[in-house]
Amino acid sequence: MTDVQTRTVEELTFPPEFLWGAATAAFQIEGATAEDGRTPSIWDTFARIPGAVVNGDTGDVACDHYRRMPQDVALMRDLNLNAYRFSVAWPRVRPDVGPANQAGLDFYRRLVDELLGAGIRPWVTLYHWDLPQTLEDAGGWTNRDTSYRFAEYALSVHDAIGDRAPTWTTLNEPWCTAFLGYTGGQHAPGRQEGVAGLVAAHHLMLGHGLVVEELRRRTATADLGITLNLTVADPHDPTDELDRDAARRIDALHNRVFLDPILRGTYPADLLQDTADLMWQGRPWADVVRHGDLATISAPIDVLGVNYYKGDAVSGRQHEDVTGFAGDHAERPTSTPFVGCEDVTFPSRGLPVTDMGWEVQPEGLTRLLKRIHDDYDAPVMYVTENGAAYADTVAADGTVDDPDRVAYVEDHLRAVHAAIEQGVDVRGFFQWSLLDNYEWAYGYGKRFGIVHVDYDTQVRTPKSSALFYAEVARTGRLARGGPTP
């Protein structure tokens, strides 16, 4: 029985100002992909590649949030949320890289108005993977110019809602954008170009830094930051030198490739050594790092968002029972997103798994938060995404009982509380996701929401997990005797 499991018998209280939120992404819920001036994103294009998305699902309708937004905000209020982390659709705001689209900006103005009227703190995410297709046609994130176009777009959003939105996330999970999108091909734009992921990662971070610098010049009061999806990379066999080295390399390519430039202003020396022979357009990939880039990338931030779903056992040897990567399904062959680590495997540890096949490892979240606190001069942290997909069943009376998700949420909240007890400054938790939605390369087949969505009728039904989370948000307390035995 883990430390987290034994704590389920205790009553825990969170700090009074703790944020209790939920998160979504524009492409996953909005729909209306061709309305009011919005132009195609890379995900609109990718979804139409045969075999790229399960069942050929698209985001054309999704949860119809673009039309149902006021009702969805009312639902958040009913669930006692005091914060909502949403993303802005870049192609809705700056279609075809032209002037700002007022119709698109007006939607986010109305959203912020609704949130503030409901007593909910708006938390803006500027980029959650929906790059305008026009920019991808010019090279996407492997093109340095995209970093500057990102800053232009960010200023358009800030002009519209900057006076009323207190917290700004530049990028959500740049690891996924860079390495699933440009190295492994699991995500849009679906490129499988190895070292291109490292190039894209650098330009993503450059865009982040440019936006932080620009927004800092405009306002001294906003909290600015970034959200990273991080893992706990443990050697499968801690006594095996190959496994230890494999874990080190994955830690570098998953965690430190972002943490070190953003929080220390430098790339990890071992990452640069490991990838020194990787060439981009005839030159070492690291030549894309220009003088002054790292100073921009490491511009001070106020908040660090941490997204956590699972850790990884890592091995330098071959194993039969291994885990895969999001979107890695048989209809369209893909590559490892870990460039230069084609020999690395991720053995199963026999832990319980979610409907994604991801192992459930709550104690890893405690260790991750503590590690960032101890190893980096980290700003205030928030868990900006945590949640689980399970195969939910709608009962005859229309209710959705999801005890596995309730247990998952409680155990991870207890893991966050354990980190706070160890001195880590964590000030909020955002459930992923508010609604069942378009789960990227898995289409509508995987449900992460605490609110069930009937995609035929668009009826929303809070699940047991939503009711559980609403009570925790109302009281700031986890009662004695949770769902974990």
Is residue 173 flagged as an active site residue? yes
Is residue 410 flagged as an active site residue? no
Dihedral class, residue 145 (left if φ above 0, else alpha if ψ from -120 to 50, else beta)? alpha
Side-chain-side CA neighbours of 142 within 13 Å: the count stands at 20
Catalytic-role residue among 30, 114, 385, 439? 385
pTM > 0.85: yes
Query: How far is 253 from 362, CA to CA, in rounded Å?
Result: 22
Tens digit of each residue's pLDDT (9 = 90 or more) over 385-407: 999 999 999 999 999 999 999 99
Q: How far apart are the first and last CA of the chain?
A: 9
Tens digit of each residue's pLDDT (9 = 90 or more) over 179-206: 999 999 999 999 999 999 999 999 999 9
The encoded tokens of residue 481 equal 């005797």
Residue 9 confidence class, pLDDT cut points 50, 70, 90: low
Cis peptide before 147 (omega within 30 of 0): no
Instruction: Please provide the average confidence, as pLDDT, over all residues in the chain.
Output: 95
The encoded tokens of residue 252 equal 């570098």
Tens digit of each residue's pLDDT (9 = 90 or more) over 219-275: 989 999 999 999 999 999 999 999 999 999 999 999 999 999 999 999 999 999 999
Q: List the single range of 218-232, 326-340, 454-468 with lowest mean pLDDT.
A: 326-340
Please compute the mean of the pLDDT values over residues 94-100 and round it to a whole number: 91
Side-chain-side CA neighbours of 25 within 13 Å: the count stands at 22
Catalytic-role residue among 114, 173, 410, 439? 173
Query: How far is 46 from 187, CA to CA, in rounded Å?
Result: 8
The burial class, CB within 10 Å (0-12 / 13-18 / 19+), for 273 is: exposed
Report yes or no: 399 and 393 within 8 Å, Cβ to Cβ: no
Tens digit of each residue's pLDDT (9 = 90 or more) over 272-297: 999 999 999 999 999 999 999 999 99
Residue 482: pLDDT over 80: no
